[in-house]
Chain A
Amino acid sequence: MAVSHRKVTGNRFRYLYSLRFWLATFVTLLLSVTLMASMSLWLPPGAAGINHLVIPLVIFPLIWAVCFFYAVLETHVIRALCVMLSLLLLNGGLVAASVMGALS
């Protein structure tokens, strides 16, 4: 505990130069929102026709938390970057296609 504290005071803004910091904040937010959006396209709507709209809303905090802790706990930060970016591209592409009307 004391060690990490000394490190922090040694370089106050070290986080801003850390790839993992940006993965866990900015990329995590972007990825979780994109995942939520794309879920509404492939989840089965169910008999009432609302499951695919409501379930992504409900589990958004879970999606975010999973992305966040993955970014924090993954040993190899480059692998985390690759996984998150490819998920982002895949789901982002799906969402973009839907917004532009390519899916309907």
Chain B
Amino acid sequence: MIRVSKSATGRLIDIHGWTAVLFGLALYVVVLTGALAVFSHEIGAWSVGGHGIDDALAGPLDHRLSELTREVPEKYHEELTVSQNAAGYLVAFFHTHEAQAGGGLPEDVGVRFVIDPANMQVVSREEGFADDLPDVSSSFLHDFLVDLHVRLYTPDPVGLYLTGLLGLILLVSAVSGFILHRHLIMDMFLSPRQKLRELRARDRHTLAGTWSLLFAVIVAFTGAFFSFATTLGLPVIAMTAFEGDQQKAIEVVIGVPEEEDPTPASFIGLEPVIRHVQTSEAAGSLPVFVLVEHMGRADARITTFHDPSDGALFTGSHVYSGVDGSYRGEKPALGKSPSLGSDLVSLMGVLHFGLFAGFMSKVIWLALGLATCYLTYSGLNLWCIRREKSTGWRLMSRLNDATAYGTAFALTVASAGFLLSYGRVPEKVVAWTLNGFVSGVIVSLVLALLLPSGWRTQQMFQRVLGLSLIALPVLRLAMSPGPFAVHGLDLTLLISGLLSLIAARRSGADRLRATERVIRQEVRHG
């Protein structure tokens, strides 16, 4: 393919291998949680036994919202966001932007209400900086999964730097693997050769790498962009082009109107706007997120955000006057008028999230994510097989198994923790979910350290994972019955669990046959 000198090849091999050894396990966790996060909304709905009201934003909002507006301090009227969380509850956040006591950049601070759309009763009221507000318990499983993917459940900006670095590592691995694999086209359809273990592992890894190269590059690139854009890029750009004023830089990029008009004016409310935006004149669909700026002023604005309409790639947003509800037209994702930059950023989202065409794109993105997991796992596995004479690398091999199966297992235990606590002790949901995850991790590590490396460890992990996957729908049904969509996920978990158990049986049988073959050969040769 690409001709590089012998010494450069050596360097690329070192880079491809050692970055995997150092970062491969963390990368696996980020990629696996990312693959599952494609269905995070469904997982969130499943975790609470489903919710009947998918279109809460189309319901009667204004009466309760105006009551809440009167109740919160007036400075928080600057911005209001309303959306429905994964558990179906409405989340309304009245806020303004202030720097924390220690200084630093302005952050969102205000009052957050969680509202039950069935009767518009306030479930919880919290006040403070957005980052310090307690987690919303009803959507915690969803939030935890997303947080694990986006920032490995570490505080900003460290977590985002970490995942950004992992994105760059994946990019480097994919490109170096592409340059190193000299027979990419020739071996493109080569079935993995079964005879020798090392050759089989190599063929499997290169085949997976060949076919998922494009996606690996795409998610690595877009993921690195999402991690670094706000934590590294924006501060640097603000320093260079705005003399360090990050708030100004953000406003210009987002496209906030410059002229302000603080004259008091009554707010029209959300219902007429949401009614209009659902007509074919505007978006033609229910918004997933609504932003109100400068409520109660003459320059009040309502912006609605929508999933892509059928056949379109990009999400849309529409702007209305907050005083008379007049339609001001569609707004690009960034800036005040359409631009290449805004389209590029939208494209980043499309390619990274895979949510642009409903179920079909989600399934494909899940499969692509799992393929990338297999790529990191099989690569590290190959590296360890080649060095299995050394104790250290055998330990690495076990850690690889522990991470590959253990992350999935720990997520099932975390889900179990959520299911067990949500119905009975909702105030302890966060602790139960996190403890579930941590105990899953500990069990996996103990299993990996106690068992010898190799197929027995894998078999044990496949059994444990299979059983825990099967236990989840049973537990979920025991906690609360749910509608059909929820049973879809139940069924998926059940099938995945059974597949894992079948894999465990097969790896045992394979191994038995291989041992028999060796014994026969030894007998024959005396």
Partner-B contacts on A (CB < 8 A): 1-5, 8, 20, 33, 36-38, 40-41, 46-58, 60-62, 64-65, 68-69, 72-73, 75, 95, 98-99, 101
Known: A4-B10, A46-B341, A53-B341. A99 touches B225 (CB 8 A): no
Q: Are B339 and A46 in contact (CB under 8 A)?
A: yes
Known: A1-B386, A41-B241, A72-B15. A61 touches B345 (CB 8 A): no
User: Is B387's CB within 8 Å of the partner chain A?
Assistant: yes
Q: Are B239 and A99 in contact (CB under 8 A)?
A: yes
Q: Can you name 24 A-B pairs with beta carbons within 8 Å? A: A4-B10, A37-B236, A37-B237, A46-B340, A47-B337, A48-B255, A48-B337, A48-B339, A49-B335, A49-B336, A50-B335, A50-B341, A51-B341, A54-B339, A54-B341, A54-B342, A54-B345, A57-B228, A60-B225, A61-B171, A61-B228, A73-B12, A75-B7, A99-B239
Q: Are A99 and B240 in contact (CB under 8 A)?
A: yes
Q: Are B4 and A57 in contact (CB under 8 A)?
A: no
Q: Are B225 and A33 in contact (CB under 8 A)?
A: no
Contacts of B345 in A (CB 8 A): 54, 57-58
Contacts of B236 in A (CB 8 A): 33, 36-37
Known: A50-B253, A57-B234, A57-B237. A69 touches B175 (CB 8 A): yes
Contacts of B332 in A (CB 8 A): 48
Partner-A contacts on B (CB < 8 A): 4-5, 7-8, 10-15, 18, 167-168, 171-172, 175, 220-221, 224-225, 228-229, 232-234, 236-237, 239-241, 243-244, 249, 252-253, 255, 332, 334-342, 344-345, 348, 386-387
Contacts of B234 in A (CB 8 A): 57
| Most B CB within 10 A of own CB, among A4, A37, A57, A73 | A57
Output the nearest chain A residue to B222 by Cβ-Cβ distance. A61
Contacts of A99 in B (CB 8 A): 239-240, 243-244
Q: Are B344 and A54 in contact (CB under 8 A)?
A: yes
Contacts of B225 in A (CB 8 A): 57-58, 60-61
Contacts of A47 in B (CB 8 A): 337-339
Contacts of B334 in A (CB 8 A): 48, 50, 54
Q: Are A4 and B13 in contact (CB under 8 A)?
A: yes
Q: Are A51 and B233 in contact (CB under 8 A)?
A: no
Which one, A8, A60, A68, A101, contacts B228 given CB within 8 A?
A60
A91 nearest CB across to chain B (Å): 10
Query: Within the assembled complex, what's the spacing in Å between the Cα atoms of A52 and B241?
Result: 10
Contacts of A95 in B (CB 8 A): 240
Q: Is the interface of A mostly helix, strand, loop or mixed?
A: helix
Q: Are B12 and A41 in contact (CB under 8 A)?
A: no
A19 nearest CB across to chain B (Å): 13
Query: Within the assembled complex, what's the spacing in Å between the Cα atoms of A101 and B342?
Result: 28
Which one, A3, A37, A54, A57, contacts B239 given CB within 8 A?
A37
Query: Within the assembled complex, what's the spacing in Å between the Cα atoms of A68 and B176?
Result: 11
Query: Within the assembled complex, what's the spacing in Å between the Cα atoms of A64 and B11?
Result: 18
Contacts of B237 in A (CB 8 A): 36-37, 40, 53, 56-57
Q: A50-B342, A56-B237 are in contact. List 18 more A-B contacts (CB 8 A).
A: A37-B236, A48-B335, A48-B338, A49-B335, A49-B336, A50-B253, A50-B339, A53-B253, A54-B339, A57-B225, A61-B167, A65-B172, A68-B172, A72-B15, A73-B4, A98-B241, A99-B239, A101-B243
B67 nearest CB across to chain A (Å): 38
Contacts of B11 in A (CB 8 A): 20, 72-73
Query: Within the assembled complex, what's the spacing in Å between the Cα atoms of A98 and B239?
Result: 9
Query: Within the assembled complex, what's the spacing in Å between the Cα atoms of A55 and B244?
Result: 19
Contacts of B12 in A (CB 8 A): 72-73
A33 nearest CB across to chain B (Å): 6
Q: Are B336 and A48 in contact (CB under 8 A)?
A: yes
Contacts of A50 in B (CB 8 A): 252-253, 255, 334-335, 339, 341-342
Query: Within the assembled complex, what's the spacing in Å between the Cα atoms of A8 and B386?
Result: 15
Q: Are A51 and B386 in contact (CB under 8 A)?
A: no
B196 nearest CB across to chain A (Å): 15
Q: Are B344 and A55 in contact (CB under 8 A)?
A: yes
